[in-house]
Structure 1
């Protein structure tokens, strides 16, 4: 028999958060997301120095980046299922602790194999964060605010990447590449403690507005999360979900390639120092991405209130406009011209970050939402950015031109993502209506 104390404890652990509690948890999740991308991006900022120390080829550098992304993709699905069954804030705390320790140990490695292993462990830790955190945010705010909140949360990807590239280059040039891993690995342990102490929101509370229905969804999600085939069968009835998965695969391919190779591209093609290459790539990514993401979240929510396809239209336009801009930027031969056009391309591409996450929330039931996010990330990473750093490295070694390797792959993948999202414009309204009928 449950005691009054244990019952009170459960209510505190799983509850409809107050606005202040939701904002506090969201702030912690945003900080963790920033640390997430700092940890994953620092390798690309210092890999030129690591290449010289360990005598690596471009293929081996690509494999270091791909190892993290491959393990990250494999681990995302099972941890996503875990997030549908367990307490999400605890899952996040465990994963943050694991990736912070793995990052710190990376500074102690002495050869390619050791660094390969620590980056692989980093992938396991970071895989658990995205599905659980997106689900927590979706259950902490009303539907009409999800797009904006997820857009703000998505800026953590961009801020963290920029900080990782800038800090990594500056610290590595001043103190050596090992100190970069020491400095960025430790703050995650403090963030893990704070999210562990936060409130776990009720599942689906803002989707139906009724406590009883929310409790029913919460009790049902365990069996569904435990049977991935049943979840997939339910998702097969949602065409928009698979449109988003296909778009993820195409866009993740170039995202993985760009984050892994842009600092090295600037160092080689424009003869920049390690520190300046990190500052330029990080600064452009930060400025352009924050502007584009916030505009995209606001524009997607505003257009969504008028037509059911609003967010999907913004997403498709972002890819279709960003593709030629990316090709033009990579074709520039002077640094000022490259920075100007690349900044415009980043703004265009970032318009989709908030809307595409919100669409994923809108077309999936709350009881399997974490698993749905995990499956989308699994396919996106395994077929997209997990393979792209290695492929780009192979093309670079073969052609002796990293710029050529980026130019022939990036714009093509982005254009395909845009075409795929045009299909989603025809399906998203019906899928959203289907979810609405399920919840009511």
Structure 2
């Protein structure tokens, strides 16, 4: 018995990646996250030029943005289930390769239908990396570091968006919009190779209580979902905080999709900025605000979580509630400098929740369903949130002849709803974390008695 226990402990230690392996993989995953958002955001930077060349309405521009998000949302869940069963690093590598090729092909399009199709393929590729990447990071680092590492990883969201907006506008004016897609699409192929060469960590390696004293029963169970989504949903139905986060995802994704699709165009129309200038301003504000907000949010959420079981949820709720009025004020500014100042502050507030909200999902779910839980949340968030918002905002803009009005009435409303919903989660999250820990410990005990 002692020999068996010693062997299990040794296997457990070997199942965990070394710090060097974890750092290497994390850096590549961060780069991939940046490239992901760069590829998806360049359309917003150059769509003013494309609209002129292809003679498109705002509704058609909204459809181009929604096509990517709709397919992205549909594909996220099945690939998330795949990530719970397959080799996650290979899934990420394949998806990066697909979206990189699709981005480059967008530069060869000559009409609305062709561009619509390439942007849809982009959604298939980008859907696969998120659930698998979040699951990988959860197994590269222990519980105490997850919140911070996920916050750093989440910085890639807005850094990539900023790069896409800034580079897209500048390159479009210098070389033409087609070259933007060629240049941005190619680096992803190199990133795909490096993540393919990374180490695949054991599932749930850091989730069994007792650290080195336990075995890897939870890790072994990680791959046993069997693709039974109904079983996963039944388990998640007993986790009210998860559905609070899903509702918050839907509300927040709606405005995120609208803002990323339309802010550069809004700056071009409202303040008569050039394509390059509009992209630089919007990208710069997003980069600066997101870096400050995300890093502070990750540290603050982990600090508060060590003192209160609902610490991360409190930060998330406050972030949404603070961002709502600031966004409304920014959209009513008629001075460019005033808009930049208030909008930057709004981005700081909104970015506070990026890492904590991902960490909460990790905290309230057991290892064997995490990728599927993330995939389901993203599916509902994208389909009911940002997949529809670019088209809805475009339709309101066409009907009222005011893009500013369309953004003004949709953004603050959705953020306020997200904040109010998260206040419900403040009351439920502590109990759900405890239940998740008990499930993991129960599996540990069952495995040790076999």
Confirm or deny a common fold (TM above 0.5).
yes
- What are the superposed Cα offsets for residues 269-297 of structure 1, whole Å, 9 maximum, x if unpaired? 00000000000000000000110000000
Q: For residues 214 and 254 of structure 1, do their structure 2 counterparts lie closer, same or farther at Cα, with a shift above 3 Å needed?
A: farther
1:178 aligns with 2:178: yes
Contact 1:252 1:381 in 2 (8 A): yes
Greater shift after overlay, 204-213 or 250-259?
A: 204-213
Q: Which residue of 1 aligns with 2:80?
A: 80
Q: For residues 406 and 423 of structure 1, do their structure 2 counterparts lie closer, same or farther at Cα, with a shift above 3 Å needed?
A: same
Q: Which residue of 2 aligns with 1:33?
A: 33
1:137-152 to 2 correspondences below 5 Å: 137-152=137-152
- Counterpart Cα distance in 2 of 1:87 and 1:121: 22
- Counterpart Cα distance in 1 of 2:187 and 2:316: 34
The two structures have a TM-score, normalised by structure 2, of 0.94
SS of the counterpart of 1:200? Answer: coil
Q: Which residue of 1 aligns with 2:444?
A: none
Q: Which residue of 2 aligns with 1:242?
A: 243
- Counterpart Cα distance in 2 of 1:108 and 1:218: 45
- Counterpart Cα distance in 2 of 1:211 and 1:218: 14
SS of the counterpart of 1:307? Answer: coil
- Counterpart Cα distance in 2 of 1:315 and 1:300: 8
Q: Which residue of 1 aligns with 2:287?
A: 286
Q: Which residue of 2 aligns with 1:3?
A: none
The two structures, once aligned, show a CA RMSD in angstroms of 1.3
- What are the superposed Cα offsets for residues 189-220 of structure 1, whole Å, 9 maximum, x if unpaired? 00000000000011111111568976433443
Q: Which residue of 1 aligns with 2:303?
A: 302
Greater shift after overlay, 215-224 or 428-437?
A: 215-224
- Counterpart Cα distance in 1 of 2:357 and 2:367: 17
Contact 1:225 1:231 in 2 (8 A): no
Contact 1:202 1:214 in 2 (8 A): no
Q: Which residue of 2 aligns with 1:5?
A: none
Contact 2:207 2:218 in 1 (8 A): no
- Counterpart Cα distance in 2 of 1:214 and 1:398: 62
Q: Which residue of 1 aligns with 2:259?
A: 258
Q: For residues 340 and 225 of structure 1, do their structure 2 counterparts lie closer, same or farther at Cα, with a shift above 3 Å needed?
A: farther
- Counterpart Cα distance in 2 of 1:429 and 1:369: 18
- Counterpart Cα distance in 2 of 1:223 and 1:337: 54
Q: Which residue of 1 aligns with 2:351?
A: 350
1:438 Cα deviation after fit: 1.1
Q: Unpaired segments of 5 or more residues in structure 2?
A: 1-10, 442-450
SS of the counterpart of 2:40? Answer: helix
How many correspondences in the alignment?
428
Q: Which residue of 1 aligns with 2:447?
A: none
- Counterpart Cα distance in 2 of 1:226 and 1:275: 46
SS of the counterpart of 1:208? Answer: coil
1:303-382 to 2 correspondences below 5 Å: 303-382=304-383
- Counterpart Cα distance in 2 of 1:225 and 1:97: 27
Q: Which residue of 2 aligns with 1:53?
A: 53
Contact 1:225 1:371 in 2 (8 A): no
SS of the counterpart of 2:109? Answer: coil
- What are the superposed Cα offsets for residues 135-190 of structure 1, whole Å, 9 maximum, x if unpaired? 00001101011000000000000110000000000000111100000000000000
Q: Which residue of 2 aligns with 1:197?
A: 197
- What are the superposed Cα offsets for residues 16-64 of structure 1, whole Å, 9 maximum, x if unpaired? 1001110110000000000000000000000000000100000000000
1:267-278 to 2 correspondences below 5 Å: 267-278=268-279
- What are the superposed Cα offsets for residues 97-140 of structure 1, whole Å, 9 maximum, x if unpaired? 00000000000001000000000000000000000000000011
Q: For residues 337 and 147 of structure 1, do their structure 2 counterparts lie closer, same or farther at Cα, with a shift above 3 Å needed?
A: same
The list of structure 1 runs, each at least 4 consecutive aligned residues, that deviate by more than 2 angstroms after superposition, is 209-223
- Counterpart Cα distance in 1 of 2:64 and 2:15: 41
1:230 aligns with 2:231: yes
1:410-421 to 2 correspondences below 5 Å: 410-421=411-422
The two structures have a TM-score, normalised by structure 1, of 0.96
SS of the counterpart of 1:169? Answer: helix
Q: Which residue of 2 aligns with 1:90?
A: 90
